[in-house]
Structure 1
């Protein structure tokens, strides 16, 4: 029985490409699979690439690393807000961190309440940042309030987002779960 299944499978694989078959047509040319369209022209369109000897298409996606939207010279010349309410400690070499920092930095231009500190830079000083050394700051996200209180993890993100008008994103994290609701069931 298993030999019969293997023989049928091998014969189906060895058949030439049938463009009318929904099993072998690429999804971006098949009208059944076009469920979502790109919302704007700047999105990455699927690029068909035909590999030699292959019967299917491969969708190419740019693997360009996330770059800082602000050059080093601009960053050095950038004046940090004098009346900042929260200081964000971030790793400038982390692409994920830089996406978050760039988004917050862009929103902060209207508010001017966040001071950004790259813990990976040569001029990082633990003394200026509540004694948080490089190893400690790299362990998790840290933010320092203007009164000197250090907050970490989700609390840090919630406080940062509140300062740029996005407090609703993390608002649910302010509340403790209600045990009484779950005890009934």
Structure 2
């Protein structure tokens, strides 16, 4: 495993929308700067990170080599910067764009289980 990673992303491997993004990032990550951790893998233990499964399911989590945790849109910024798209990432920090992305991500995070068909009768299930 590459020890020169810049960001670790904790993603839901059972979420089709999330997997589409992860597949794109894997293709773009030619220098192996991202560490990918699937929270849906049976061997994954949220407790080993001092967190709950809900912490990981409620919004995307990332970790920097220093051990610092990041969440939400900042995770995506770090991921795309790691694959060489820093000029685009800079645009996402502009006030209007930043607020729009934060709002959009909150809506997505709150609804992704329902939108990906993992809710029945008003309850969402996580394997």
**Contact 1:114 1:163 (C-alpha < 8 Å) held by counterparts:** yes
Q: Which runs of 5+ in 1 are unaligned?
A: 1-79, 178-185
Which residue does 2:22 correspond to in 1?
101
1:169 equivalent in alignment to 2:93:
no
**Contact 2:46 2:56 (C-alpha < 8 Å) held by counterparts:** no
Structure with a larger share of its residues in helix: 2
- Give the deviation of 1:176 after TM superposition: 4.0
**Contact 1:142 1:152 (C-alpha < 8 Å) held by counterparts:** yes
Aligned pairs for 1:38-117 within 5 A: 80-108=1-29, 110-117=30-37
2:55 to 136, 151, 161: 136
* Pairs aligned (count): 96
Distance 1:86 1:97 in 2: 17
Distance 2:52 2:68 in 1: 16
Which residue does 1:160 correspond to in 2?
79
RMSD, aligned CA = 1.7
Aligned pairs for 1:13-24 within 5 A: none
Give the TM-score normalised by the residue count of structure 2: 0.68
Q: Residue 128 and residue 175 in structure 1: after superposition, are their counterparts in 2 closer, same or farther (change >3 A)?
A: farther
Distance 1:171 1:132 in 2: 30
Give the TM-score normalised by the residue count of structure 1: 0.48
Instruction: Report 1 or 2 for greater relative contact order, CA contacts < 8 Å, sequence distance ≥ 6.
Output: 2
